[in-house]
Chain A
Amino acid sequence: MRELMKGNEAIAEAAVRGGCRAFFGYPITPQNEIPEYMSWRMPEVGGCFVQAESEVSAINMVYGAAASGARVMTSSSSPGISLKQEGISYICGAELPCVIVNMVRGGPGLGGIQPAQSDYFQTVKGGGHGDYKMLVYGPATVQEAVDIMYDAFDKADKYRIPVMLLGDGMLGQIMEAVEIPKMKDSASFPKKEWATDGTGVGEKRRVINSLYIEPDVLEAINHKLFDVYSELEKHEVRFEEYLTDDAQTIIVAYGTVARIAKSAVNLLRAQGIKAGLLRPITLFPFPTLAIEKLAKKKNVKDFLATELSMGQMVEDVRLSVNGKKPVRFFGRTGGNVMLPEDIVNAVLEGK
């Protein structure tokens, strides 16, 4: 049955249905409905909810729970996610699975509380120290966010990495009709032979750690992690193409902005201008090959990346296009959101 649900609440319920049984967080707008929801929902399903004393504490609780094999998550918004970066780096170094939600607000600093996409660099280029990546999704609708969240713990467990759902403030606050899938059976989850959960007595000691003093050992770990990341690049890239077949201008946008861009494509088509949309669904791994393929097409004349930032994802678009076609940028910031007509004008300015 389809229900009308707020993005934040739908994401929380999808996490529960996907097997999440531990939530650690600290309040911040515009994602407060997630911890609020989890505060009553976790006890209901026999899970654990803690409102930590800080974001730093919350992410380290996630670290501990993940080490012991729990399906665990945290959520926050930009300044809070900055505070969590050290913990995220440790979790990556220790090869632990978890899920993190960032409902992005404007920055830098405390910034504002309105929607933004200015945490793209922090998320996909490594906000914490060291060579690491996460599997990052930028859903555009509440249903897509639900479907991604439902499988996020499976992906995290499979690759032993954090999965991040990168939403903008709008995705958290919007209400849409959604179908929430049924509860996953925890008996079907793969066993975690590495988890420090008290099992495996008499076997090889299980140690969860991210400290590797020997250069050769650490280098081997770095390579092991990057083997996982290249698996992600092979198997987990997701994107949507809309009217790109005969398009002259390709708009690249993710999240809620991609929906505004879709309306812009429709307006441009109504004026006889052949525009199309490429919407990355995974931000790491980025749909580089799909963009490269479009850049090679004769009918494609140029690209326009549009974001709620001063221009971050546009850099990955430029790397993918690799100089074959011009790539322009249009963005709004500060919590302001562009209208479809603004994107139309940005496309027309390039003609």
Chain B
Amino acid sequence: MEEKIIIAGFGGQGVLSLGQFIAYSAIEEGREVTWLPSYGPEMRGGTSNCSVVVSDLQVASPIISSPDFLIAMNKPSLYKFQMKVRPGGCIIVNASLIPDKVERTDVRVLYINAQDLAIEAGNSRTANIVILGVYIKQSGLFDKEKVLHVIEKKFASKPKVIPANIKAFELGYAI
């Protein structure tokens, strides 16, 4: 088993931390994982992305040529990566910011109004956690309870934000 995920968006959308939540969850599952960020002189409003590889074996290449999942949090990211997704793969589109439709017909596409759901969860900054919920459900590799445990652990220093993040995750997971 090996699953390759590219997560991309604006700096500040929680793109890197979304990837880290997946990575921490993979470790909770006893799997191997690599999380590789794009790093650089990123401008505010510029794009940011990370590549996550989850595997049963030690991960060979952390560089992804053809992802199983693309999580596109903004429009430039969708256009940058959509053609790379493997046929039969899945694209999760943050429809709150991307009005466009995916041009491909050989992939599964989920349009998620992540911003609306985050507001519904009680914290407009949880859109990335909504998407985490969507991904975890679609992936099928993860035990939901373990991911919730990771969310609680990661926000342990800010307990006030835990309920909204749990709610955001549940809203995404329910889709």
Q: List residues of A whose CB falls within 8 A of some B CB.
A: 2-4, 29-30, 113-114, 141, 169-170, 173-177, 256, 259-260, 262-264, 266, 337-341
Quick check: A4 and B20 within 8 Å, CB to CB? yes
Chain B hits for A260, CB < 8 A: 60-61, 63
Q: Which residues of B contact A263 (CB under 8 A)?
A: 60-61
Per-residue CB contact flags for chain B residues 24-60 toward chain A (1 = under 8 Å, else 0) read: 1001000011111101110000000000000000111
Q: Name the distance in Å between A79's Cβ and chain B's nearest Cβ.
A: 15
B139 at the interface (CB under 8 A from A): no
Neighbouring B residues of A3 by C-beta, 8 Å: 27
Q: Are B62 and A259 in contact (CB under 8 A)?
A: yes
B33: which A residues are within 8 A, CB to CB?
4, 175-177
Contacts of B23 in A (CB 8 A): 4, 175
Which of B40, B60, B62 meets A114, CB within 8 Å?
Answer: B40
- A113 contacts B39, C-beta separation under 8 Å: yes
Nearest-Cβ distance from residue B31 to partner chain A, whole angstroms: 8
Give, as a whole number of angstroms, the nearest-CB distance from A172 to chain B: 9
Return chain A residues, CB-CB under 8 Å to B62: 170, 174, 256, 259
A-B residue pair count with CB separations less than 8 angstroms: 64
Contacts of A114 in B (CB 8 A): 39-40
Docked pose: A337 CA to B61 CA in angstroms: 11
**Taking A4-B23, A4-B27, A339-B65 as contacts, is the C-beta distance between A259 and B60 under 8 angstroms?**
yes
* Given A4-B23, A4-B24, A114-B40: A176 touches B61 (CB 8 Å cut-off): no
B40 contacts A175, C-beta separation under 8 Å: no
Contact B39 A2 (CB under 8 A): no
Closest approach, in angstroms, between the C-beta of A156 and any C-beta of chain B? Answer: 28
Contacts of A256 in B (CB 8 A): 62
Measured between alpha carbons, how far is A338 from B61 in the docked complex, in Å? 10
Give bound CA distance, A113 to B40, whole Å.
7
A262 to B62, CA, bound (A): 11
Shortest beta-carbon contacts, A-B, top 3: A263-B61, A175-B35, A262-B60
Kindly provide the distance from the CB of A290 to the nearest chain B CB, expressed in whole angstroms. Answer: 21
B65 and A170 contacting across the interface, CB-CB below 8 Å: no
Distance in Å: Cβ of B18 to nearest Cβ of chain A: 13
Q: Is A259 in contact with B41, judged by CB distance below 8 angstroms?
A: no
Interface size class for chain B? 20 to 34
Q: A175-B23, A177-B27 are in contact. Are A170 and B36 (CB under 8 A)?
A: yes
Contact of B41 among A113, A174, A176 (CB under 8 A): A113
Given A4-B20, A4-B24, A4-B27, answer yes or no on A174-B34 (Cβ-Cβ < 8 Å): yes
- CB <8 Å contact, A337 and B63: yes
Minimal beta-carbon separation of B42 from chain A (angstroms): 11
B65 engages A174 (CB within 8 Å) = no
A127 to chain B, nearest CB (A): 25
Residues in A neighbouring B61, C-beta threshold 8 A: 259-260, 262-264, 339-340
**A173 CB contacts on chain B under 8 angstroms:** 36-37, 39
| A2-B27 contact, Cβ under 8 Å, with A174-B34, A337-B63, A340-B61 | yes
- Name 11 A/B residue pairs within 8 A (Cβ), A-sorted: A4-B24, A30-B39, A114-B39, A174-B34, A174-B35, A175-B23, A176-B35, A259-B60, A259-B61, A263-B60, A339-B65
Please state if B35 and A340 are interface contacts (CB–CB under 8 Å): no
Asked whether, in the complex, the Cβ of A176 is within 8 Å of the Cβ of B34, the reply is yes
- For B32, the chain A residues whose CB sits under 8 A away are 176-177
Residues of A within 8 A of B40 (CB): 113-114
Asked whether, in the complex, the Cβ of A266 is within 8 Å of the Cβ of B60, the reply is yes
Report Cα–Cα, A83/B59, bound state, in Å: 35
Q: B20 touches which one: A2, A30, A175, A266 (CB < 8 A)? A: A175
A338 surroundings in chain B (CB, below 8 A): 63
- Nearest chain-B residue to A340 (Cβ)? B61
Instruction: Please give, as numbers and ranges, the residues of chain B lying within 8 Å of A169 by CB-CB distance.
Output: 39
Q: Which of A4, A29, A341 contacts B65 (CB 8 A)?
A: A341
Contacts of A259 in B (CB 8 A): 59-62
Contacts of A2 in B (CB 8 A): 27
List CB contacts (< 8 Å) of B51-88 with chain A: 58-63, 65
Which among B24, B34, B35, B37 has the greatest number of chain A C-beta atoms within 10 A?
B34
Q: How far does the Cβ of B41 sit from chain A's closest Cβ, in whole Å?
A: 7
